[in-house]
Amino acid sequence: MRQKIVAGNWKMNTTPAEGVGLLKGVAELKKEVCACVRLIVAPPYTHLCPVAEAAKGTGIALSSQDCATEAKGAYTGEVSASMIASLGVEYVILGHSERRQYYGETSDTLNKKMAQAFSNDLAPIYCVGEKLEERETNRHFDVVRAQLEEVIFNLTSEQFSKVVIAYEPVWAIGTGKTATSDQAQEMHAFIRKVLAEKFGDAAQETSILYGGSCKPSNAAELFAKPDVDGGLIGGASLVAEDFIAIAKSFAK
């Protein structure tokens, strides 16, 4: 049985105090969610410490939204994977399209970040997804395959067993446009097939999340698809009730 996951990417939103409030709101409502679903929240770096403290004993796991390519040293403004892990954070989002698009992250950058994540026992939530123009010119499968081959194929089998994949079509992120459940299923099945080429049956165990304008009104249909194991949620993760409503799409 693959782990079902609903992860909230708070991006650059909330103050630390608001973040703690949001975590508490999610924790309060968590009892309504099937115990089969792993809830993860990814606050900004500045919030990780107080949110980790507030999350103790709630069963909600923490993720950072990124980590540095290097272990330590003269890298002003960067935050290392070891600093993040020292707070009890378990996951790190890597390769989010906003990082690829606005901060020029390449596969080369992401291979370094992967190495840092694994050296510090952080499980990567690795994001892949095509831009609108790539889908319109029928290149979406090639783009996603390259994003997997250039980074995930460099992992050992043991490392691969810890990876979560998030398929996030760039044209659906923050736009209100969701991929249809059939489009999501088609790509998720493709991703699993590509992963199986390298890692064999282990790909059957990989949780593949959908991300891109996922909300309470469309989550159930998306999550009902056989290769959709949950969601990476942006905007809707900023309201505890919405985030929980999405997670409740998995029946108890």
Instruction: Supply the residues annotated as catalytic.
Output: 96, 168
Residue matched to tokens 């949001």 = 22
Work out which of 128, 211, 227, 243 binds ligand PEP, going by CB under 6 A. 211
Pairwise CA distance, residues 135 & 52, whole Å = 38
Looking at the DSSP bridge assignments, the partners of residue 54 are none
Query: Does residue number 212 form part of the binding site for ligand PEP (CB under 6 A)?
Result: yes
Q: Which residues of 225-237 are buried (b: 16+ CB within 10 A; e: fewer)?
A: bebbbbbbbbbbb
What contacts 140, CB < 8 A, 6 or more positions away?
130, 134, 169, 187
Q: Which of 192, 199, 204 is nearest to 144 (CA)?
A: 192
* Helices 140-149 + 181-199 axis angle, to 10: 40
Pairwise CA distance, residues 42 & 52, whole Å = 10
Query: Does residue number 120 form part of the binding site for ligand PEP (CB under 6 A)?
Result: no
Whose Cβ is closer to ligand PEP: residue 40's or residue 173's?
173
Whose Cβ is closer to ligand PEP: residue 84's or residue 173's?
173
Whose Cβ is closer to ligand PEP: residue 80's or residue 231's?
231
Candidate segments 50-58, 118-126, 189-197, 206-214, binder of ligand PEP by CB under 6 A: 206-214
Work out which of 66, 130, 134, 168 binds ligand PEP, going by CB under 6 A. 168
Q: What are phi and psi of 123, to 5 degrees?
A: -85, 120
Looking at the DSSP bridge assignments, the partners of residue 62 are 41
Query: Does residue number 63 form part of the binding site for ligand PEP (CB under 6 A)?
Result: no
Query: Does residue number 173 form part of the binding site for ligand PEP (CB under 6 A)?
Result: yes
Site size toward ligand PEP, by CB under 6 A: 13
**Which token pair is 102?**
């606005």
Query: Does residue number 245 form part of the binding site for ligand PEP (CB under 6 A)?
Result: no
Candidate segments 21-29, 75-83, 146-154, 229-237, binder of ligand PEP by CB under 6 A: 229-237
Whose Cβ is closer to ligand PEP: residue 168's or residue 199's?
168
Rg (CA), the chain: 17
Work out which of 234, 240, 243, 247 binds ligand PEP, going by CB under 6 A. 234
Cβ atoms of 67 and 84 within 8 Å: the answer is: yes
For the CB of residue 74, give the shortest distance to ligand PEP in the complex, in Å: 31
Query: Does residue number 218 form part of the binding site for ligand PEP (CB under 6 A)?
Result: no
Query: Does residue number 184 form part of the binding site for ligand PEP (CB under 6 A)?
Result: no
Work out which of 232, 244, 246, 247 binds ligand PEP, going by CB under 6 A. 232
Whose Cβ is closer to ligand PEP: residue 1's or residue 12's?
12
Pairwise CA distance, residues 230 & 73, whole Å = 37
Dmax (CA) of the chain: 49
Residues near ligand PEP, by CB under 6 A: 9, 168, 173-174, 211-214, 232-236
